[in-house]
Amino acid sequence: MPAIPKPEGHTRVLVTGANGYIAMWIIHYLLEQGYLVRGTVRSRAKGEPLSKHFKEYYDSGKLDLAIVADSTQEGAYNDLVKDVSAIIHVASAVHDEQGDPSKIINPNVQATLQIMNSALAFGRHIKRVIYTSSTSAIKRSEVVEAAESITNLFNEENWNNDSPELVQRLGASALFSDKYQTSKVFAERAAWNFVEEHKDEISWDLCTLQPGFPFLQDWKDPSEFSWTSKFFHDLVFDPSPTPKDLLETSHASVDVRDCALAHVLALQKQDAGGQRILLVGTDIISHDWIEEANRLKSEYNFSKYSVVPPYPGIQKVYNPRFDNTKARHILGITFRRTEPMARGILEDYVRRGW
């Protein structure tokens, strides 16, 4: 399928879950490169931060916002896809960590299928649909890895089969991580199955992206931070002791700017069509963030925060977990490493007067 090059005219992209952490950065790059953007939010209140943050674009009509209160409702996206050239489906359903797994899994699967159905029935101009999946759909369950001392190197051929099996067996008592990972597996598989079932009818192709933890500054106040932003904030600035096992935990990470730019590049690169593409820049031990912040803190004048000192006796074992060859070759992206990621966060804190 033809890709969607940098726009010369009125090329509009639909971005779901537009007020989310990753989506706002995707919108930033789309608008910066000249695309028109239609973002979906669950309520008018959730759209207000976007209209303020992107005020120039919003006032000029280059960004418009649509309310989709229930993304699982049939036809929720029908009118929104009629004049767009591409869809970037980032939205993920709100979920209860303690609840029935189906309350996490079903909404994500249903929302994905609803937007695919709308694209099939009404998306006459659509050339590509991008679904934001996760490394959770690829890597094995943390429970199984810990029990079996597994250190796999994962690529796009892998699927996480452990988490669905654990959720099926344990139900509501399964760990939230496995419930969440199962929702990502099922939603992504639903997208690929839909394309296969309707391959003779659709005029667009699918690309799925699997980012690791997308670290960098959030757009919000610390009290409303996303999980990864809060993790960095508490780890580096909260004087309360952090458990040693957490300090030694590794994370497959990606700078949120790289993650967002990869979504835009996935629109533009013809070879991205029909592909799963891992977005992992580096493997980071939690304590690395503290060490980097201490190395850089002399460059910044924090008003409200103090960087916690490094912890003694930390054992760090680096085992690269994900092969990002496809992202580098197909998308042409060079991933930021730990130091520039940490620097970006700290610079943002200073800009905000923190």
The predicted structure's pLDDT at residue 105: 93
Q: Provide the pLDDT for residue 320.
A: 74
Residue 268 CA neighbour count, 13 Å, CB half: 17
Given this model, what pLDDT does residue 8 score? Answer: 60
Going along 17-116, which residue ranges are E strands? 36-41, 63-67, 86-89
The band of 153, judged by pLDDT with boundaries at 50, 70 and 90, is confident
Domains of the chain: residue spans and CATH: 12-216+254-281+323-332 (3.40.50.720)
pLDDT surpassing 90 at residue 224? no
**pLDDT attached to residue 182:** 95
Q: Is the pLDDT of residue 41 over 80?
A: yes
Q: Over 60: is that where the pLDDT of 149 sits?
A: no
Q: Is the pLDDT of residue 2 over 80?
A: no
Pull the structure tokens for residue 115: 């937007």
The Cα 167–Cα 101 span in angstroms is 7
Q: Please tell me the predicted confidence (pLDDT) of residue 349.
A: 84
Measuring CA to CA, which residue among 37, 50, 28 is closest to residue 83?
37
What does the DSSP assignment read for 150-179?
----B-TT----HHHHHHHHHGGGS-HHHH
| 276 in Cβ contact with 156 (< 8 Å) | yes
Confidence of residue 123 (pLDDT cuts 50, 70, 90): very high
Average pLDDT value for the chain: 90
Percent of the chain with pLDDT over 90: 73
Residue 156 and residue 278 in contact, taking contact as beta carbons nearer than 8 Å: yes
- pLDDT at residue 151 is higher than 90: no
Residue 181 and residue 264: Cα distance in Å, rounded? Answer: 25
Q: Which residues contact 161 (CB under 8 A, 6 or more apart)?
A: 185
Confidence of residue 281 (pLDDT cuts 50, 70, 90): very high
Residue 132: per-residue pLDDT: 97
Residue type at position 74: E
Of the given ranges (92-96, 142-146, 147-151, 168-172), which has the lowest mean pLDDT? 147-151
pLDDT at 216 over 70: no
Q: Are 193 and 109 in contact (CB under 8 A)?
A: no
Whether the CB-CB separation of 99 and 88 falls below 8 Å is answered with no
Distance of CA 87 to CAs 27, 130, 131, 132, 317, Å? 12, 6, 8, 11, 39
Strands 250-255, 282-285: pairing is antiparallel
